[in-house]
Amino acid sequence: MALDFPGLLGDGVKLAYVNDASPPVTCRLQPLLDIPQVPAKEADELENTCHGSGGDHTYTLGLNKIPNITAKLLFDASDAYHLDMITRQAAKTVTTFYIEVPANAAGTTFLRWTLDAVVKKAAVSTPIAGLQEMDLELLYSANLVPATTPVASIIT
């Protein structure tokens, strides 16, 4: 099933992972219906109030947490990459993922986030007759490289 929704659902955002082939291959997960947010650090709040602070509680930032990344795909049971997500979820395999967001209207440059994650959820549902969706949830493992400058896409 080779469906593509240019300019619509997902708004040009690309999601891919690196498989275990030799050499490794970047595998695009498509069609992407939704990815609500890109990975972003959220720091814990730590109270550091001490005597002499004028009676006010004071805070600082602690360790960072990366919230789970969620995505929704139009599922295709004949797509090897979709089935690989189910396999990786069952095996709890740490996988490198890329998320690219268009940085210009022409879609020639992208902001890219790279991270290692485990597929926490790869669930197939049938919300509309004749169509199946896959809900993905990625649990951050390590190596978040946030986007800082627009680059050419590595996801084809």
Tens-digit pLDDT profile for the chain (156 aa)? Answer: 444 444 444 578 999 999 988 899 999 999 999 998 888 899 999 998 887 767 788 899 999 999 999 999 999 999 999 999 999 999 999 999 999 999 888 888 999 999 999 999 999 998 877 789 999 999 999 999 988 899 999 998
The pTM (predicted TM-score) of the whole model is 0.85
Distance between terminal CA atoms of the chain? Answer: 17
At 155, list the tokens: 């996801």
**Taking a C-beta distance cutoff of 8 angstroms, is the pair 13, 73 a contact?**
no
Q: How far apart are CA 147 and CA 103, in angstroms?
A: 11
Q: Which CATH architecture has domain 14-41+58-145?
A: Roll (2.30)
Residue with tokens 């959220």: 42
Name the residue ranges covered by the structural domains of the chain.
Answer: 14-41+58-145
Q: How far apart are CA 116 and CA 59, in angstroms?
A: 30
Q: At 141, which amino acid appears?
A: S
Q: How far apart are CA 58 and CA 50, in angstroms?
A: 8
From residue 119, alpha-carbon distances to 18, 72, 148 in Å are: 13, 13, 25
| Tally of CB atoms within 10 A around 129 | 5
Give the pLDDT of residue 1. Answer: 40
Residue with tokens 């992407």: 32
